[in-house]
Amino acid sequence: MRHLDKVKKLNRTKSHREALLRNLASALFIHESIKTTKSKAMALKSYAEKLITLAKRKDLHSMRLAFSLLRNKEVVKKLFRDIGERYKDVNGGYTRVLNFGLRKGDCAPMALIELTKKKEQKEEEKKK
């Protein structure tokens, strides 16, 4: 039976896994693309998409929920002011994971996770 298999544990305790996802999501929202292992990228994808969905709602409650997950005021401000605006007309599919090859040291599969709409693409759409 597959009970309790919905969360990828990533060989970490719950608190360590939450801190890892919090830091990866903050880095993703700041830099808009990061390079990490494939398993971490797949775990981050669902975490980040839930946060972007919160940012689309633009109310105080969703902002407080996002802050409780991210714990960084600057990242939450960028998420609600910039990233939430970009995806207000899109229903899902906010991030993409691209396979990147193998890491040199231990041959771990690497991946690039990025937001589908970059800041430059948003400016080009406004010009059209």
Domains of the chain by range and CATH?
14-127 (3.90.1030.10)
pLDDT digits (tens, 9 = 90+) for 5-36: 888 899 999 999 999 999 999 999 999 999 99
Distance CA 116, CA 54 (A): 17
Whole-prediction pTM:
0.91
Say how many C-beta atoms besides its own lie within 10 A of residue 43's C-beta: 20
* pLDDT one-digit tens code per residue, 69-93: 999 999 999 999 999 999 999 999 9
